[in-house]
């Protein structure tokens, strides 16, 4: 099974981002749009594992406190278009603690430098620079271990556990 650790977004945040997705479509941006149900902030991408139990156990050791998460402008990694999030001390500490817990448990994960973002469009083509970034803010009150499956050719995310 394919796993990742994420912050799931509030309904209000998803509504704001869905409005942005519509704005991007109206601006003519083409690509593979993230369904609103799949919008999230990845903290650590683990990838394929046989058994989720060691990951669950590792995450139980993560200490963290609720914090405010705010949207912060559009950006891209090549042809991946995303909206950034403000990276305050709460988010930075959470990422550090999640990754330390995975390291301590010997669980492999993608070790790229953490750039806080929510992926909007993959294989994006077109001009998005004039589209205004949405405003949005939420309190992060839980962290989720998510499973990613393919159903009918589409990615479907399901929460496995939360802390």
Please tell me the predicted confidence (pLDDT) of residue 133. 83
What DSSP element (H or E) covers 80?
strand 80-85
pLDDT at 153: 86
pLDDT of 129 reads 83
For the entire predicted model, the pTM comes to: 0.92
* Structural domain spans, the chain: 2-153
Give pLDDT < 50 ranges for the chain.
none
81, β-bridge pairs: 76, 121
Q: What is the DSSP string of 1-66?
A: -EEEEEEEPPHHHHHHHHHHHHHHHHTT-EEEEPPGGG-EEEEEEEEE-S-SHHHHHHHHT-----
d(CA 73, CA 129): 10
Q: So what's the pLDDT on residue 67?
A: 95
Do the beta carbons of residue 120 and residue 9 sit within 8 Å?
no
Domain 2-153 fold is Cyclic Phosphodiesterase; Chain: A, (3.90.1140)
- Which tokens hold the place of 97? 């603690």
The tokens for 62 are 């993560």
């Amino acid at each position: 099974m394919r796993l990742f650790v994420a912050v799931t977004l509030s309904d209000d945040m998803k509504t704001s981002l869905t409005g942005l997705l519509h704005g991007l479509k109206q601006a003519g941006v083409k690509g593979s749009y993230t369904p609103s149900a799949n919008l999230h902030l990845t903290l650590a991408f683990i990838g394929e594992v046989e058994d989720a139990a060691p990951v669950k156990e590792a995450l139980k050791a993560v200490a963290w406190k609720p914090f405010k998460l705010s949207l912060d402008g559009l950006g891209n990694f090549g042809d991946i278009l995303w909206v950034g999030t403000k990276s305050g001390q709460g988010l930075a500490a959470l990422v550090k603690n999640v990754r330390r817990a995975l390291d301590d448990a010997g669980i492999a994960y993608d070790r790229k430098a953490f750039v806080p973002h929510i992926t909007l469009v993959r294989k994006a083509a077109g001009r998005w620079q004039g589209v205004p970034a949405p405003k949005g803010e939420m309190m992060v009150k839980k962290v989720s271990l998510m499973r990613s499956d393919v159903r009918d050719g589409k990615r479907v995310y399901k929460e496995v556990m939360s802390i």
